[in-house]
Structure 1
Amino acid sequence: MSAQPIAGTAPDHVNIEIDGRALQVPKGSMIIQAADKVGISIPRFCYHHKLPIAANCRQCLVEVEMGGKPIPKPQPACATPVAEGMKVHTRSEKALHWQRDVMEFLLINHPLDCPICDQGGECELQDVSLGYGRSISRYSERKRVVADEDLGPLVATEMTRCIQCTRCVRFMSEIAGTYELGGMARGEHLEIGTYIGKTIDSELSGNIIDVCPVGALTNKVYRFQARAWELIARASIGYHDALGSNLWLHTRRGEVLRTVPRDNEAINECWLSDRDRYSHQGLYAADRAQRPLLKRDGAWIETDWDDALGVAVERLRGVRGSDIGVLVQPATSCEEGALLARLAQGLGCANIDHRLRTLDFADAPVAQPWACGVQALQTVDAALLVDCDLRSELPLVNHRLREAAKRGAKVFAVAAQRHDTHFALSEQFIAAPQALPGLLAQLARAVSELDGAPAVPEALRALLVAASVGEPMRAAAHVLRNAGKGSVLFGLQAQRHAQASWLRALAQYIAAATGAAFNAVPDGANALGLARMGALPQQAGLALDAQLAQPRKLYVVYGAEVPEDFADGGKALAALRAADCVIAFSAFASERLRELADVILPIGLTPEIDATLINLDGTLQESAAGARLPGEARAGWKVLRALGGLLDCSGFEFTELAELRAALAPQLAQQPVSGAGLSPPCAVPADGLQRIANVPIYRGDAVLRRAAALQEHALTQPVQALLHPQDALALGVHAGARVNVEGISLPVVIDAAIARGVVRIDTTYPETAALPPHGSTLNLTKA
């Protein structure tokens, strides 16, 4: 007897029966989805709940009855939609027979190398074959062998193991959006590859390791290091961008051997960006600071904590509070940020800042939670990217926006270069950095001329009056205004602009006038948390720019590298060189830091300490220490507690981290507000080319810069000067030639994605980190 309609069934649901259980499931669902919902296990390989259905492997064959009559042929559960009155048998004699037959076919060509396979112990093929495979093989012919491809430094291949489920192909095309993998040939000759033997250049490529149900794609960095049962999983958080991806650290004897995603649908779903997955290599760099270091008579010596803290206390007591500057790396935890603010207050110092890559402080910018959450971004109808390279800044947020674009959302961009978003933009408006405020003003004026638009703020009126609006701008304004749900994404490059306050005010007006959410990408993994903890100039305190322009006698540098982590690296270098003393809390003792510092106190990194971070949605996330601290390094909050106690500062009386967290709870709920000032109008550029100073995706912080595999990746290009073809022609240089910039010789790359009048020279490289900052005018000469 077939399942009968039940009174009260929702109009968008149907009644079915699976293994004797009556269910109501949404129309359009597949059988496998309905079964998963109630915990009925159906074996599968090609099906993945986040990927399009392929129905390749046929492992999920089930027996189906309709109208009381069995369908004679087996049905793939992943590709068979439910229907009213359907009865499904997943464990009947027929279903099990079909599933076992498919399992036998899949194992015909699979190599017997489980003992040496990295997937051993966590392999879906092993698990399913245990339940559905035969104890012996009837196949005696020679197994096929497939040549491996070099997919780059992150993913290792053993393609003889591949069962052609195409999960990796579908991930690259539908989620990553790069279409770098595909199937070649047919039948038993089908092979998965990159067609022309190229590497995979996606920033999300490591996820194909997770979706691969066999050992065909494995982690090249982790390869042959350990077995799954030797590892301990520790919950942690990604700290290289403000998304705060949830992840597991897999450790053995306290050493992180690999990182894998931890499901959180509201943040990173079940994916992980490559920089969060592979950055753990940087924890074990050769220059890792393992013992306190002191500079005595110009030479560095290792010492103990009592001696190092004693010298730090002596130096801090010997300087007036106003002569101290505190510079904080923006991925620092909330606990450390709060203690640094207390330490500064106890020393009478108001000069503390974590906005190290900011140039314009006119409107006192402070990181704010997103008005439109990450999860909601994939449902927007229109979006505006203001100098925002989402693929580099927030790879998994770029995926969310791509999902919206696939559903028909219109996305516009205003920037100094064309960014590769992996989805089609409706329009891109490109101008040199110093012309960006005027370009964005054109869009703001087009919006202001729409019916019902709010009044233009007085401070912006003159700029909008001077703007001339073309038809493409009017069309973009019309789309943004009429979108049911819109978002304005204010990118890191916009925040690092010399006139960021103008760009921010214009973007906020556009958002308000079109009813869109204003989402500024926080510049740092814990920028929101540090702002709430008070790691900002207090009262008459000096912001970063003033601290560097008027060098302090003593600097406390917490977790940051100079000059790589600063917007104006040259100015930061000069300021620290001019100081009488530099006390560095650092996980690394680089040659540059040894040159600048007088005391180096080794501290732990986020995977090694208990930490609280606040992501761009305003979500507070705690992580516990997962890895062992190297040598005599200590958690930063413990070092600060000891230092604050020795200095008799208030607020350091606690003994456990839980006490500190309890005291910080009210502060964590308070959100500082940005100001409303504007920097002086843009100056007319001098002769030369304006610099775009991008921070490469895998060079954003000290740990990434030390992750060897990420530095070998195709997205980490060698330092070079990128020019528009017409600018290169005017200079008389060609691709591969060299130009001199501020005494540095760089190779030339011709790139039409760059605006006219611009040279892109990425920062954070040793050669370029101290060059004039983003938007500066540079004079290039032929080498």
Structure 2
Amino acid sequence: EKYMGPIVKTVMTRCIQCTRCVRFAEEVAGIEEIGAIGRGENMQITSYLERAVTSELSGNVVDLCPVGALTSKPYAFNARPWELKKTPAIDVMDAVGTNIRLDSRGRAVLRAVPRINEDVNEEWAHDKTRHAVDGLTHRRLDKPYVRKDGKLVAASWQVAFEAIKAHWSGEAAVLAGDQVDCETMFSARELAGSKMLEGRQTGLSYDTSSLSAVNFNTTIGGIENADVVLLVGSDLRREAPLVNTRIQKAVRKKGAKVFAIGPETDLTYKVEWLGDDLGALIKAPKALADALKTAERPAIIVGGGALRYEGVHGAALAFAKKYKLVKDRWNGFNVLHFAAARMGGLMLGYAFDGGIKALAAKKPKLAFFLGADEVDYSLFAKTFKVYVGHHGDNGAANADVVLPGAAYSEKSGTWVNLEGRVQRGERAVFPPGDAREDWAIFRALSDVLGKRLPFDSLDELRAAMTKAVPALGQEGLADYDWVEPKLDGKVSGKIADYPIKDFYLTNSICRASPTMQRCSSELVHGQQWLEAAE
């Protein structure tokens, strides 16, 4: 048997050398790590020097192997297909909104596989989507906790609610994490009754007065048709692997030219790097300017590595105007989010003027943190912190009250992907222990606080949410009219690095997943794992 890493298990006695995995690695994943050695009857399919395959899309070879020579290592021998309940869901590991099917038995999700959606993920899913599901049963919050004498102590729901009531002044701040559904954000907003809402938990601050100016306007499928693409501060391969495959397709099939501003990294296709100075947005280098002059469908993609610098949003919009990136039947201005909750949060007003630091400066007496584990909690030292989430991660460790919520697999919810596509997932399993669906927690809390929320079921909640934000009531692409906010086009500085340091450990579910921990240690940090008998 051949070693291909922590994701793919091989049974090479079944292999018929059809080379579908070789073609996938080269043409879709963009890495030449799988190939054939030997000739005739001695031919073998193997990875380079039998090392782990480093692609973040390697799990897809399991789906396209026709004979089961390549199978899923984490899922192997866990269940029979006919034992599993199959539930359509939406992936929350990034902002692409990959359509998936969750296969569960009893109260455990055993695997996630992609559903075909040509507009979003085609038939692919990256390795986090597929294999972070074992983190759903580890390090779970299954009962409320209240901090007493500096330590979190298990409590009843009533005791936890009374502790919150003691600090309730009629309003609260709400900070949403990266994986929260729209229903949770809406119910928290209605209860909090304030404008102190923020979802960009890592400190990003950009103009949100026009949703079209923070949207992926080309659409995920449409970026394949671009002939010149400029990436600004975006490590696309780690922030949105399935958008990266589309650009790789544009380069390979249609000869698109790709330019990039930021530290050099391997994106799996030919890129002309323009350095890391943001001044290139003001005065484009000659190679880029010449390419844009003759381009029919030029596009810019602004990533989180650039948006944390002041003025980048305005400079990118000015760049788009100067080089006519927005024209009839083509909008080439794109902002790349990498949090599943981001676009839904922006539609619901989760963008405080000045960002999270400006919100913290208001010194709210009480703040709800919705699965927000990446927040700098030192900013909220004087605030009474209530964490509503599903894993015992950074957020729970810093909270004064912990309320156990439901993970994405345990609730029906609405998510909006980076191109403004409204999608709904269904509940596959129930939350563990005393944990409850997040919106139901806020509905119950509202009675205790004397501010009853006007809905008692998910359908009533969705009706209220649709009335407040009509676009969230209809599945499919939300129609954002192109409105350019008036921003200063000046910018300076250099992009130091990219936001995602470790692709496999970007959220609390991944950090609780044994499979993702192994992928991180082996594929990111180079630690060797020996199999039995080695």
* TM-score (ref. length: structure 1): 0.62
Is the radius of gyration larger for structure 1 or structure 2? 1
Note the C-alpha offset of 1:206. 0.2
Question: Is 1:637 equivalent to 2:439 in the alignment?
Answer: yes
CA contact (8 A) 2:371 2:389 kept: yes
Question: Is 1:351 equivalent to 2:183 in the alignment?
Answer: no
Give the match for residue 425 of structure 2.
623
Give the match for residue 484 of structure 1.
296
CA contact (8 A) 2:301 2:334 kept: yes
Give the match for residue 79 of structure 2.
226
Letter in 2 for 1:387: G
CA contact (8 A) 1:150 1:157 kept: yes
Give the match for residue 699 of structure 1.
505
Letter in 2 for 1:378: E
Give the match for residue 186 of structure 2.
338
2:486 aligned to which of 676, 682, 697: 676
CA contact (8 A) 1:385 1:412 kept: yes
Render the CA deviation track for 1:252-287: whole Å, top value 9, x for unaligned.
1121111111111111111111111111122122x2
Task: Name the CA distance, whole Å, in 2 between partners of 1:424 and 1:301.
Answer: 54
Q: Please report the RMSD computed on the Cα atoms of aligned residues, expressed in angstroms.
A: 2.7
Task: Name the CA distance, whole Å, in 1 between partners of 2:26 and 2:17.
Answer: 16
The number of equivalent residue pairs is 513
1:292 to 1:682, Cα distance in 2 relative to 1, 3 A: same
1:574 aligned to which of 372, 378, 386: 378
Residue segments in structure 1 that go unaligned for 5+ positions in a row: 1-147, 444-472, 567-571, 720-783
Within 5 A, what are the aligned runs for 1:63-74?
none
CA contact (8 A) 2:260 2:273 kept: yes
Question: Is the partner of 2:247 in helix, strand or coil?
Answer: helix
Higher relative contact order (CA closer than 8 Å, sequence separation 6+): 2
Question: Is 1:589 equivalent to 2:392 in the alignment?
Answer: yes
CA contact (8 A) 2:167 2:365 kept: no
Letter in 2 for 1:532: M
1:717 aligned to which of 503, 524, 533: 524
1:230 to 1:246, Cα distance in 2 relative to 1, 3 A: same
Give the match for residue 59 of structure 1.
none
Within 5 A, what are the aligned runs for 1:196-211?
196-211=49-64
Task: Name the CA distance, whole Å, in 2 between partners of 1:235 and 1:646.
Answer: 35
Note the C-alpha offset of 1:506. 4.0
1:712 to 1:182, Cα distance in 2 relative to 1, 3 A: same
Question: Is 1:272 equivalent to 2:272 in the alignment?
Answer: no
Give the match for residue 147 of structure 2.
295
Give the match for residue 347 of structure 2.
532
Within 5 A, what are the aligned runs for 1:354-753?
354-361=199-206, 368-425=214-271, 427-431=272-276, 435-436=277-278, 438-443=279-284, 473-510=285-322, 512=324, 515=327, 517-537=332-352, 543-561=355-373, 565-566=374-375, 572-576=376-380, 578-590=381-393, 592-593=394-395, 595-649=397-451, 652-666=453-467, 667-669=469-471, 675-678=485-488, 682=492, 693-713=499-519, 717-718=524-525
Task: Name the CA distance, whole Å, in 1 between partners of 2:288 and 2:80.
Answer: 54
Give the match for residue 26 of structure 1.
none
Letter in 1 for 2:340: A
Letter in 2 for 1:328: A
Task: Name the CA distance, whole Å, in 1 between partners of 2:180 and 2:147.
Answer: 25
Task: Name the CA distance, whole Å, in 2 between partners of 1:679 and 1:326.
Answer: 31
1:220 to 1:594, Cα distance in 2 relative to 1, 3 A: same
Letter in 2 for 1:370: F
CA contact (8 A) 1:350 1:542 kept: no
Note the C-alpha offset of 1:502. 4.4
Question: Is the partner of 2:286 in helix, strand or coil?
Answer: helix
Note the C-alpha offset of 1:498. 4.4
CA contact (8 A) 1:233 1:248 kept: yes
Render the CA deviation track for 1:272-317: whole Å, top value 9, x for unaligned.
11111111122122x211101111233322122222222222322x
1:503 to 1:163, Cα distance in 2 relative to 1, 3 A: same
Note the C-alpha offset of 1:674. 7.8
CA contact (8 A) 1:338 1:535 kept: no
Letter in 1 for 2:191: L
Note the C-alpha offset of 1:178. 0.4
CA contact (8 A) 2:262 2:496 kept: no
Render the CA deviation track for 1:722-781: whole Å, top value 9, x for unaligned.
xxxxxxxxxxxxxxxxxxxxxxxxxxxxxxxxxxxxxxxxxxxxxxxxxxxxxxxxxxxx
1:607 to 1:334, Cα distance in 2 relative to 1, 3 A: same
Render the CA deviation track for 1:193-236: whole Å, top value 9, x for unaligned.
01411110001000000001122111111111111111111111
CA contact (8 A) 1:360 1:499 kept: no
1:416 to 1:542, Cα distance in 2 relative to 1, 3 A: closer
Question: Is the partner of 1:430 in helix, strand or coil?
Answer: coil
Aligned sequence identity (%): 30
Letter in 2 for 1:509: K
CA contact (8 A) 2:2 2:46 kept: yes
1:691 to 1:231, Cα distance in 2 relative to 1, 3 A: closer
CA contact (8 A) 1:351 1:543 kept: no
Give the match for residue 11 of structure 1.
none
